[in-house]
Every structure is written in structure tokens, then in C-alpha cells.
Amino acid sequence: MKRREGLAKLTGREPYVDDLAVDGALWGMTVRSPAPRGRIREVRFGDGVDWSEVVVVDHRDLPGPNQVKHLTVDQPILAAAAVRHVHEPVVLLAHPSRRAARRAAAAVEVVVDPEPAVLDFRAPPRPEQVQHGDDNVFTRLTIAKGDVERALAAAAHVIEGVYETGAQEHVYLEPQGMVAWVDGDGVLVVQGSMQCPYYVVEALTHALGRGRDAVRVVQTATGGGFGGKEDFPSCVALHAALLAMKAGRPVKLVYERGEDMAATTKRHPSRVRHRTGVDAGGRLVAQHLEVTLDAGAYVTLSPVVLSRAIIHAAGPYRCDHVLIEGRAVLTNSVPYGAFRGFGAPQTHFANERHMDVVADRLGLDPVELRRRNLLADGESTATGQVIRDGVDRAALLDQALELASFGERRAAHERFNREHPYLRRGLGVATVHHGAGFTGSGEVFLASEVEVAGLPDGRVEVLTASTEMGQGTTTVFTQVAAAHLGYEPDDVEIAQPDTSRVPNSGPTVASRTVMVVGRLIERAGDDLRRRLGLDGGARGAALKEAVAAWHRAHPGESLRGFARYEPPPGIRWDDATYRGDAYATFGWAAYVAEVEVDLRTFTPRVTDFVAVQDVGRIVNETLARGQVQGGVVQAIGWALLEECKLEGGAMVNNQLTDYIIPTSEDVPPVRVAFQETPYPYGGMGAKGLGELPMDAPAPAIANAVAAATGAAAWKIPLTPEHLMELMEDGDHARPG
Amino acid sequence: MPAQADAIEVFFELNGEPTTVSVPASDRLLDTLRYDLGLPGTKEGCGEGECGACTVYLDGLPVNSCLVPTYQVRGRRVATVESLDPAELDDLHAAGATQCGACTPGVAMTARWICEHPEVLARHTVRQLMAGNLCRCTGYDGIVDGIEATLAREGK
Amino acid sequence: MPVLTPESLEEACRLLAADPGAVPMAGGTDLLVHWPQNLDAHGRTYLDLSRLDELRPLRWTDDALVLGALTTYWDVIRDPRAGEEFPLLIAAGRQVGAVQIQARGTWAGNVVNASPAADGVPVLMAYDAVVELASAEGTEEVPLDAFYLGYKRMRRRGDQLVAAIRLPRRAYDVAIFEKVGSRRAQAIAKVGLALTRSAAGWRVVAASMAPTVCRCRALEKLLTDGAAVASPDDLLAAIRQDVKPIDDVRSTAAYRERVMARVLYHALLGKAESFG
């Protein structure tokens, strides 16, 4: 089935929030802190602006707690006395003219008396830099299995390594934006670009002293999210709402690209230290890891990012003795947040790069090292989760190598590299896993709900809070409902996520949409049949007629099938000890990258890419392939091109000329293959897919560059300047 | 010619129709299309001529409308994504050229231009010609496949 | 925001003489970047050149290729003769931004934008381009390699307009353009190099290596003298005389210097007899 809203997007008719013409709307702007830390001494409103025409909002206008409700409430909506990062919002302005709003914003000066800021997450803070607890550590989490110190002491070889990954900016092509107004019934309506309408509802009700019924949040067509619109929209929504409430008129608040890049969340930077024990046969016997994430100035989602990071940190391998110590640390940087992969790409980079380092130290082929250690069914992960999903992980690796013509190409590259004056070619492999859905008890806690309504004409409407942001929600939900009920796709409506109409099916994150919410759609469809007194055999025209007949018999009434999340049987997770079944299920992948490095300019280029994965059943081949290709290219950017240059903890290369994402000329065709082992508890047998493609490319590329050049890559982005240092100067920045 | 006052009148051909608009001299063509002419299909992604989401045709060539002063289109031909024939976009649709859609109007414009002027492929590859349209979702394969399918179907 | 709209070059010069602070606007691909946020720019007066159709076409004479003030990169890329006689113009033009920029950006605009990382200027300079400046007082010709006085400073009075850029037609037996960017398209050069050799001698031009695009006279002398060059390092002494790269948001001085040596060395292997 072709993407359902595809033609509307291709012809420019899909309405995004900035496309909406809202009568009488004012344009909002945000005035921000210039300093990474300090006390606000004064806010000066300059000359040259008629301030009587400008709506001004600051923390004193807040009707309730000055808190953006995420996991915690430490982040203020608007800074009051103190600021903790550059670009922290302080004052909001609105004016009928966008140009005038910009001029007004430029005329406001926030004067800050600076305090000692902490900007390097690697070093312990000095006493005057401590702003949380006694050591700036927001969260500590530990995974322990067996006795790692004893196993390391007994190991034939112990190999150490330190790896770092940089921040990454989402660059969704549609910037953040919201429009807010209070309607005739006194209901606060907020429409805009977002992944999680109910997160926004929660943030609004928490802060604005309004009941649930006095707030309505509607997701408009969202031009990309990648996690960047998971939590940050709550801030934008609150700001737009505050301006609208004060102005008594609608307010549109749409970020400009430079503002969006500099002031919103990014991927957490990471550092991972490995101590790995292997036996004489190249089997992992001990893995000790220290994982540190830079959380930025506020907690946001860091505890969950850290959780996922450490759960994946030891890789898809068998090892009896594992100790993973994780910390998320405060710095006065712009707060970091959700980004596709959510901690797993960071630790998979470290682990998969380290596997090649281990192989090299042992004189073993890196492919063979992986073969000897990949989890087989019946074996357990670092948290003690026994894997039993029937996926043939070795076959994934085999298929990837075959598609990449690995053996032949590697031999050809050796010959090529001996002869060419300045080009070097190499291949790199990475094998990874990605837990689908929320961690452990997370899905139970979410208690997601879905409704499938039977309409008077016999068609059905699927009501969920899951958002379409390009990943294919609308189309796949149509397919799931249509397949389950035997309906034609045109007889299935997907409701716009409008919190006055749809139940809370949870956030659109964590690769849970098809697997968890799709499954709920199937069960809600079954419930619809039950309410009609029908069983699972009722399908197609017969079912459609039954729905229509019910409405004839019950005019004006509502017919809804309902489902609430139930965990698959046998999932046991202990939050206190961090042991057990971390995820209901995992996706698995083996990726191969081929690079060519130009030693004149130290520039690596990806010349071929093979991505093989098993994510259960593929519901829509084109959409699934597109998710993999897009994720791979986004990860190529993270690995080679995208560097967030920070000053005072804020991005100074905050424009697309200087923050380099791949163009069509920078990447090869991405060759994708799926193996399918259906997952019985996922919608149509599917597991999660959206984030898995972020996990393997960066280490595969780093491994390929190392194979091509001998450079001991340890950090990304692996820019030409960094590669030059590695190859020419010996790398002085690398920690011991 | 005397210096212009702040509002200027611009007569031009828009999507095949003669059009007049009165706008501040400092407006960009992108602003005029989106906010004065009711054509929000053309998108603003970066404001610096990097992302191509604002691509329109000016006298038949694809340009970034965020970098065109509206006063410069006086007497010229402008075409926007709203002028594209949906039937000609079907191969792009089927190949997965669009996901979130934010870059898509610009992509569709450049893609259609290539298909209308296949002679440019004598010295440029499709990927080179599409390098001015940044996409964060597709990884470009769906776009390139869609253009190649269109070229094949149109016999070019 | 006043906009002056001359209908002829002569009128444009008169208007500019009356208001030398007016900013000439050609394709807008430099001046309109981040325009809405650039509040100061909205208060200036602009001289709209876009109606001066006579300045758009490129012209061939017996001894020169003359680019008009409004000739775009795309105009040159599509000209078959330009491809044959001045291949570096095509090579550089194709690497300016992408199609959308090439369709609007002008060579003259690139010259007066005076960026040290310019893409068009290096190849024009390597082809010994001459800038024709027009004003109400008449025309003046300035060789491009004498046009820049320092960072963003050039030999153009406020009342002068670039009317044309003239490239002498010659036989070149070496024509090389190398742009080292952060990615393959739409990249600002970290190192730009344009080299030519003709009966008039070697021209070596570097971009992003100094406050202006500049000729590298020490390297030209090294090549003319036929000094033996066995490795990229043998070029460093001359490079250090000719350019002074810096660390900036795009790259580092150390990278630029080393990469310039390596790119030059490999580009000239097989072209300069004393290399290798």
C-alpha cells in the first residue's frame, strides 16, 4: 500500500502548523539567556520599540508552578532568578507582525551575573560548579551479572578502550512550532508539531491550573521528529499558551532554524570505557563498562536514555560476567534529549568499535569474533534476559556479508591499497540489537489505550494518540486495521491525534508504534466485533454491514471497540536490581559499511552500505526500507559529518551551512534486506524498527576506516581533521 | 526610476496566471507566496539556501525562494509546487520519495524539473542534481529511485 | 527599505553616483542569507540590477570570454564553448552550492562578495580575469589578482559596479581545480585550489587559506623554476610564504596547510615534470 498521505505531501497540500492561517494570530518570539550559568540581575527593554504594542510574558505571569513536567519538574518554563544554560528562555513576546516581534526580541537584553559553569562532563566538578546533589550526577544505574573482577583476573586477555560520541542535532526539516488560543468555551487549544500529544497535555495541565477538560492538544502534520519533538514541544506549547492567554488572541510560535538548532535538545554526548576479558578461544568472559552521558542543564529524559544506553552497552553477545556502571551528569549545556536510538547508538558505537579492537589484539578476524559470541536462543543478555525469539542472528551476519561480497571485496581492497597513491578502501561490520517498546515495566506503566469506532456508514475509525511524522503511522495503522477486519484500506479512517477525541495510546517513541499500538488496534477491532455479537470470523462486507446495521438500530449512539495494553506473558523485570527482561523483545541487525578514504584530504566516504535486520514481520516493504535507509544516512551523518561546535555549552555552528548533514551526493544507495521471524505479540507480527538503523552504521564505518587506514578510530564524528590527527600526530586528546 | 516606498506592487506570472501583489520591499518571494498569496506549499527549512525546501521555478529554473527578493520577480514567470500535476508524481509516491513531507515540495519541484529537462543528465547525475534538496527521512534512495522510475516511464 | 530599479547600466551608474552607499543586488544568494534575522540589512538602500538584461549574457570575442555582470554559474555550465576553453569555470561552477544556487548566483556577485572561501574567484583568477568596473565617471579595469586589498576589502569604490569580467582566451596545458569541502555538494571550501599553465606561465590560486583569495607567487616560482618536489612536504616552505590559514568554525590551520600540500602534490604529479 502506498503511503496514504503521500500525494498530499508531494503536492504541498499537507498542512503543517506554519501553513495554518489563524485569524487574528500574533507571532511569538523567545528571549533567551546569553550566559551558561548565573543570576538574572535585570531584563532591559530597549528603545526603538513601542512596547505598548507588544505582549510580554515572564515568569511572573505563570498561573501555576514554573515547571515543565517531563519525568521530573526541575526545568522551569521561564527562568526566574537563575539561568542554567545559554538560550534558556526568559521572556516571551508577541506582536501581530513577525518582523516587529523580531525587532522587539532583539531589543530585550537579559543581564546575567555569571556563576561558574561546568561544561565538560568528563571531569568531576569543582565545588563551585556543583548544582545538583553533591556531584552533579542526575542518575546512576548499574547492571551486574556474575563476578566481573574475578573473571577479568582469570581472563587470558584483557583489552581496554575508551570511546566517545558527540552530540547530534535532529535537523527535522520542519522546525518546532505551535499555535495556541483559548476557544469560545474557554478551552485552551494547542495545535502543532509534536510526537506526543498527551505529554503536552500533561505539561499544560500541570503548569496552567487547568483541568484535563479545559485543555485540547491537536497534532498537526509533523515534518520530522526523530525524538526532537518528544519532550521539547511541551516547552513550545507552554510558551505559546502563555502568550495566547495573556494576549487574549491566538499566538503562533514557530522557531527559526538557527534558534531551533541552538536552543533545543540534541543527542546526549557519551563516553564509554571498556575493560574486556576474553578467553584463549576468543570468547567474551568479562565485560566491565563505565558509561557516562552528558545530560546538559536539566534532567529531561536522561534517566531513560541512560537506562537504554546501559542495557544495550554490552552488545548482542553472550557473556557470563558483566558490570555496567552508568551515570548521567549535569553540565551547563543546552539540555540533551531524545534522539532516535535513545542511548543505544552511543553504547553500540563503543562496543562494536571495541569488538574490532579486541579482534585486532587477538589476531582474530572481527567477523569471526562476532560469530563466536553472538547470542544463540536460550542464552542470556547482560540483564539476564533469556533470548528465545527464534531469530537466526548468525544468518543475519551471513546475509550481510554475502550481500556486501565481503570476502572478495576485502581481498580486492588489499590489492588496491597497496597500489594507489592516496586512496584507501576498507570494510567494517557491526552486529547490534535494539529493544522494542518501553523498557521493563514501562509499557505496563503507560497502560496505553486504543479505540476502533464503527461509523454509521459501516466504515471504521482508528483512534490513537500515535503520530505520523514520516515513519508511516497512518499507512501502517490502516493496513493493520484493514488486514485484521478484512476491510478495504479506504474504509479505514485514521483519526487525527486530537486529545479531545483520541485515547492515550502512549508516546510515539521507542519503536513501539506498530508493535505495541498496532497490536492494540487488532485487539480493539476484536472488541468491536464482540460488541456486535460477532466473532473473529466476521470480516469484510459482512462486518461492514453489521456495523451499519447497528447504527440504524441505535441512531446517534457511539460504537467503539476498546483495548488496553497487556504485557506479553512471562516478562519479568526488576527496576531495583536492573535484572530480568528489559524489553518484551529485541530487533537484531548486521550491517556492513564500505569506505574509501582520500589520504590527501583525510576524508572518508561511504561507498557501499548493506543493512540486514530481523524485526519480525514487515508490514509495508517500502516504508520499512525507507526507515532503514533514512536511519542509516542519519547515522552516516553522525559518524562522519555532523559536529556540534559548542561554546558555553551552546551550538555556534547553528546553521545548515556549518552543521553538515548528508546530501544525496554524500551517500551511496543503502541496500536493505529483511529476515522475518514473526513476533506473536506485535501488531501483524511486527517488532519495532524505527531506531534500530541508528545503532550499527557508526561503528561499522569506524571499523571500515580503521581497516582501510590503520587509524585507531575511537571518537565520532570522525571528521577529516580528527582522522588527520589520528594518522599523523598520534592522538593527544585520547584519554588513557 | 524613483526610489520605491515601503510597499511595492509586483506584477508577475504565477503558476501560469497573471498576478499582482502588494508587499513590503523587504519581503522574500518565499514570504510572499506563503503569507500573501495563500500558497503555503513552499516551505521554509533554513532561510539560507541550503535545504531547498523552498524551491520554486523562476523563469523555468529551480531556485531557492528564500533568497529571491520579491521585487525581482516583476515581469517574470514563477511556478510553485501547487502547479505540479499529481499524475506525474506517482512514481515518486510509489518509490517512497516522501516520508515526513517537509522537504517534499522542494524535492518534487527539482525532481520534476529534471524529468522535464533530461538533457541535463548528460553531464550531471541525479544525485548531483538533487544535492540542493536536503532530506532527513528517506536517505535519498526513495527519491532517486522515484526519479529514475519517472524517467523510465516517460521514456527519457 | 528603498529599492532603486535602473533600466540601463548607465542609469544604474548615475543612481550609484548619487548614493554610493546603495547595495547592488544581483542574484541575492549571498545578501539574502538569513534575511529575516538580519534586521540591519532591512534599513539599507538596494540597487536592483536584475532588470539590466544586457548584463546577463556571456560574450565571445576574438581574444576574450566576457562574462556579464549578471551571468550565472548555470549560464556558463551550459555553454559548450566555455566547457572546452575554460573547463575550470565548469568544474568550479558545478561545485557552487547546488542547482538552485547555480541558477541564481552570479560570477560578479562572487567577486564583490569577497569571501576568502569563494568558489568562482579562484578559477577566474587562475585564468587572469580582469574586472571591468563601470561608474558615472567611466570604466576602469582591474586585474582580479590585484582586486583584493584585505579581508572583505577590494578596489571598488562605492559608486562603481562590476559591469563585466573578461578572461583572455589562451591555450592552457594544465587546468586543475580542487575544492576540499566538508561534503561533496553545498560545501564551503576548507581549501580551494585553482592552477593553470599557459604561455603566460603558471598561475596558482588558493582560497580559504588567507584573508583573501590570492595568487601563490612562491609556488608559481617553484613550478616555473622546475624545483624538484619529491613529496608534499617539499611544498610546505613555499606554501608558508604564500598563505596563512587560520582555525575557524569550518576547519583548522594545521589541516588546511597539510591538505593543501598533499592535494597540490598529487594534482601536479604527471603534470609538472619536476614532481615525483
Q: Give the mean model confidence (pLDDT) for residues C147-163.
A: 96
What CATH code would you report for C172-268? 3.30.390.50
The pLDDT > 70 percentage for chain B reads: 97
What's the pLDDT score for residue A424? 98
**Distance separating alpha carbons of residues C38 and C30, to the nearest angstrom:** 12
Instruction: Please determine, looking at this structure, whether the domain spanning C3-39+57-168 carries the CATH number 3.30.465.10.
Output: yes
**What residues of B are in contact with residue A16 (Cβ under 8 Å)?**
43, 101-102
Q: What is the DSSP pairing of strand B61-64 with strand C46-48?
A: unpaired
Segment C235-240 mean pLDDT = 97
Please state, for a pLDDT cut of 90, what percent of chain A lies above it. 98
For A86, the grid coordinates are: 545559554
Q: Tell if the CB–CB gap between C4 and B64 is shorter than 8 Å.
A: no
To the nearest whole Å, the CA of C123 is away from the closest chain A CA by 20
pLDDT at A734 over 70: no
Which cell goes with C261?
600540500
Residue A676, burial from CB neighbour count under 10 angstroms (0-12, 13-18, 19+): middle
- A243-254 confidence digits (pLDDT tens): 999 999 999 999
Chain B residue with the nearest C-alpha to that of C188? B50
- Predicted pLDDT at C276: 85
How far apart are the C-alpha atoms of C204 and C224, rounded to whole Å?
A: 11
- Mean pLDDT, all residues of chain A: 97
Q: How far is C38 from chain A (nearest CA, A)?
A: 10
Chains touching A, CB cut-off 8 Å, 3+ pairs: B, C
Residues of C in contact with B49 (CB under 8 A): 29, 32-33, 97, 100-101
Which chains reach chain C with 3 or more Cβ–Cβ distances below 8 angstroms?
A: A, B
Mean pLDDT of the A395-422 span: 98
Q: Which residue of C has its CA nearest to B25?
A: C1
State whether residue A97 sits within 8 Å of chain C by CB: no
pLDDT digits (tens, 9 = 90+) for A416-443: 999 999 999 999 999 999 999 998 889 9
pLDDT band for C185, please (50, 70, 90 cuts): confident
B98 CB neighbours in chain A (<8 A) are: 3, 6, 9-10, 470
Tell me the C-alpha distance between C232 and A75, whole Å: 54
Q: How far is C275 from chain B (nearest CA, A)?
A: 32
- Report pLDDT digits (tens) over A116-147: 999 999 999 999 999 999 999 999 999 999 99
Q: Which domains does chain A have, with CATH numbers?
A: 6-115+176-254 (3.90.1170.50), 270-439+577-729 (3.30.365.10), 448-564 (3.30.365.10)
Dihedral-angle region of residue A156 (phi above 0 means left; psi in -120 to 50 means alpha; beta otherwise)? alpha
Tell me the chain A residues in contact with residue C252 when contact means C-beta distances shorter than 8 Å: 721
- Mean pLDDT to the nearest integer, A92-103: 97
Confidence of residue C155 (pLDDT cuts 50, 70, 90): very high
Instruction: For residue C39, give the nearest of A106, A256, A600 by CB distance.
Output: A106
A646: pLDDT strictly greater than 70: yes
Give per-residue pLDDT as tens, B97-107: 999 999 999 99
CA-to-CA distance for A639 and A664, rounded, in angstroms? 16
Residue B92, chain A, CB below 8 Å: the answer is yes
The burial class, CB within 10 Å (0-12 / 13-18 / 19+), for A244 is buried
From A117, A116, A115, A95, select the one nearest A107 (Cα to Cα): A95
- State yes or no: pLDDT of C186 exceeds 90: no
pLDDT above 50: residue A503: yes
pLDDT of residue A409: 98
Yes or no, beta carbons of A102 and C36 under 8 Å apart: yes
Q: What is the pLDDT of residue B4?
A: 40
Q: Do A173 and B108 touch (CB under 8 A)?
A: no
pLDDT at position A470 is: 97
Look at residue A309 and tell me whether its pLDDT is greater than 90.
yes
pLDDT tens-digit profile of A360-373?
999 999 999 999 99
Higher pLDDT, residue A732 or C136: C136
Q: Could you say which DSSP state residue A6 is in?
A: H
Percent of chain B with pLDDT over 90: 95
Listed in order, the ranges of chain C carrying CATH 3.30.465.10 are 3-39+57-168
Among the residue ranges A469-478, A720-729, B55-64, B101-110, the one predicted with the least confidence is A720-729
User: What count of residues does chain A have?
Assistant: 736
Do the Cβ atoms of A724 and C34 come within 8 Å? no
Using the structure block, give the residue that is written with the C-alpha cell 544463540: A376
CATH 3.30.390.50 in chain C, residues? Answer: 172-268
Q: How far is B113 from chain C (nearest CA, A)?
A: 11
Q: Which residue of B has its CA nearest to A629?
A: B139
Note the pLDDT of residue A733: 58
pLDDT value at position A639?
98
Share of chain C above pLDDT 90, in %: 95
- A37-75 tens-digit pLDDT: 999 999 999 999 999 999 999 999 999 999 999 999 999
Q: Which residues are within 8 A (CB) of A298 and not within 5 positions of it... i.e. 6 or more apart?
A: A74, A75, A84, A335
Given a cut of 50, is residue B3 above it in pLDDT? no
Q: Which residues of B62-93 are buried (b: 16+ CB within 10 A; e: fewer)?
A: bbbbbbbbbbbbeebebbbbbbbeeebbbbbb
Contact B149, B91 (CB under 8 A): yes
What was the pLDDT predicted at B2? 37
Calculate helix-pair angle for A518-531, A473-485, nearest 10 degrees: 40
Contact B96 A623 (CB under 8 A): yes
Is the pLDDT score of B8 beyond 90?
yes
Domains located in chain B, CATH noted:
7-82 (3.10.20.30), 84-153 (1.10.150.120)
Q: What is the pLDDT of residue A75?
A: 98
- With bands split at pLDDT 50, 70 and 90, how would you rate the model's confidence at A730? low
Q: How many cross-chain Cβ pairs, A to C, lie less than 8 Å apart?
A: 66
C-beta atoms of A655 and C34 within 8 A: yes
For residues A633 and A430, give the distance between their C-alpha atoms in angstroms, rounded to a whole number: 16
* Mean pLDDT across A201-217: 97
Distance from CA of A368 to the nearest CA of B (A): 30
Q: Distance, in angstroms, between A565 CA and closest chain B CA?
A: 28
pLDDT at A731: 61
Nearest to B132 among C3, C37, C186 (CB): C186
Predicted complex ipTM exceeds 0.90: yes
B 102-141: CB under 8 A from A: 102-105, 108, 126-128, 130-141
Of B41, B95, B141, the CB nearest to A669: B141
Instruction: Give the model's pLDDT for residue A732.
Output: 56
pLDDT at C184: 83
Q: Which residue out of C40, C255, C265, C271 would a mutagenesis test of the A interface target, given it has the greatest number of A Cβ atoms within 10 Å?
A: C255
Q: Residue C51: pLDDT above 60?
A: yes
CA-based nearest distance B89→chain C, Å: 20
Chains that touch B (3 or more CB pairs under 8 A): A, C
Per-residue cell: A293: 552521558
The dihedrals phi and psi of C202, each to the nearest 5 degrees, come to: -80, 140
C-alpha pair distances (Å), A321 with each of A324, A626, A672, B8, C269: 10, 38, 34, 74, 56
Using an 8 Å CB-CB cutoff, list chain B residues near C184.
131
The confidence band for C150, taking pLDDT boundaries of 50, 70 and 90, is: very high
Burial of A513 (0-12, 13-18, 19+ CB in 10 A): buried
Pairing state between β C59-60 and C64-68 = antiparallel
Answer whether A670's CB lies under 8 Å from A611's CB: yes
